[in-house]
Amino acid sequence: MTASAQSTTRGRLAGLDGVRGLAALYVVCNHIFERAFPGYPADHAPFWAAGFIYGRFAVVVFIVLSGLSLSLAPARHGWRLDGVARFARRRAWRILPPYWAALAFSLALAWLVVPPPGEGVPGLRSIVVNGLLMQNLVSAPAPNRAFWSIAVEAQLYLLFPLLLLLLRRRGAPVMVAAATLVVAAIGIAAPHVARLDALVIQSPPDLAALFAMGILAAGIVVAGERRRSWPWAWLGVAAAAPVLTAAWWQGSVWTLDHLIWVDLALGPAIACLLAALVTGRPARLVRALDVRPMRSLGLSSYSLYLTHAPIVVVLYEKVVAGRVGHGGPSFLLAVAVIVPAAVVFARGFAAVFELPFQRHRGWPLPLRPAVRGVSPRPGRQSAGSSGSYSGRAAS
């Protein structure tokens, strides 16, 4: 392993925090984009902003990164968890306190300021469904558009021990192939079964295959030097190029109508790129992703993902809407106003509701909130957190 890959503060793998932070920031810009350029899935934006319509691509990054992050420790111990019950308690302790705080924050803004566009005012049903992380399975007015991916990721945690068991018994390629084949079968059948098609839209099954790809990528930490020296970054670029080219050639409507297949095609590219970062290559990219601003952004990326959606709605409606021309001007003004506000708020939110739960595994928590931590998203492995940002993670 290169020095940059091993260089870690308190066990943190260099570069992955930066990836997580940039993905969360991209989701914020995606939700601003959808306010400034209505008409989704049609893309009415100028070329310089058009790429922000694909917020789902950040979900791919979050979920693959989640599988990788959670699997680093098991990979070093024969692909075994340190107890399923202990794993479940750590996941709950890590993701639920900031999530429930963000739910309360989102409900307050929806009730007192501006409800989410296209949704009814959330009520008791919304509180129960979102509080139990069932919003991707049970319909209810959403107080926060980003929460669906948190529910999916929590459900993937239930699948995680089974995927590790399959990996131990049949090997990593079989584990990934099995998950992908199940997802592909659902994707083929969905257009012909109304309820299944609705479920695929509301709770994308392809995220399970992406999660499995992240688990596979975690194997790089125990691979031999020959395997570690493969040009993983270039393999990732080569795998991503045809997917991104197809999205550009076919346009946003086609791409967003075929997300299950686009996600599956993009997953291996993200897995390869993350494997490259884990091995410390390319060194310049790792260093760029590990500078202090990137680490700081990654540190609060889970909080940024949890809280940004209602902030986008409120600030766009109260500050941006009607003050400049629609489209490009409103997008630029909204980015200038909303992104700094969302990032600053997330930093403070993380200091109170997220970082203390990373540093302390039980009660009592320290009275004075910490402003620094070691892991920004759900996940306590040395690489960082889990993703949702569908997170870890999602549009």
Query: In tens digits, what is the pLDDT along the chain, a chain of 395 residues?
Result: 343 344 444 456 889 999 999 999 999 999 999 999 999 999 999 999 999 999 999 999 999 999 999 999 999 999 999 899 999 999 999 999 999 999 999 999 999 998 888 888 899 999 999 999 999 999 888 899 899 999 999 999 999 999 999 999 999 999 999 999 999 999 999 999 988 888 888 899 999 999 999 999 999 999 999 999 999 999 999 999 999 999 999 999 999 999 999 999 999 999 999 999 999 999 999 999 999 999 999 999 999 999 999 999 999 999 999 888 889 999 999 999 999 999 999 999 999 999 888 887 766 666 555 444 434 444 333 333 333 443 333 33
Taking the C-alpha atoms of residue 371 and residue 355, their distance in angstroms, rounded to an integer, is 7
Strand locations in 81-134 (E): none
DSSP code of residue 382: T
User: Cα separations (Å) of 142 from 106, 122, 128, 253, 323?
Assistant: 9, 6, 11, 24, 28
DSSP code of residue 318: I
C-beta of residue 122 within 8 angstroms of C-beta of residue 135: no
For residue 386, count CB atoms less than 10 angstroms from its CB and return exposed for 0-12, middle for 13-18, buried for 19 or more: buried
346, HSE (Cβ side, Cα atoms, 13 Å): 30
For residue 319, count CB atoms less than 10 angstroms from its CB and return exposed for 0-12, middle for 13-18, buried for 19 or more: middle
Q: Could you tell me the two tokens for 53?
A: 């319509």
Q: Could you tell me the two tokens for 111?
A: 């009730």
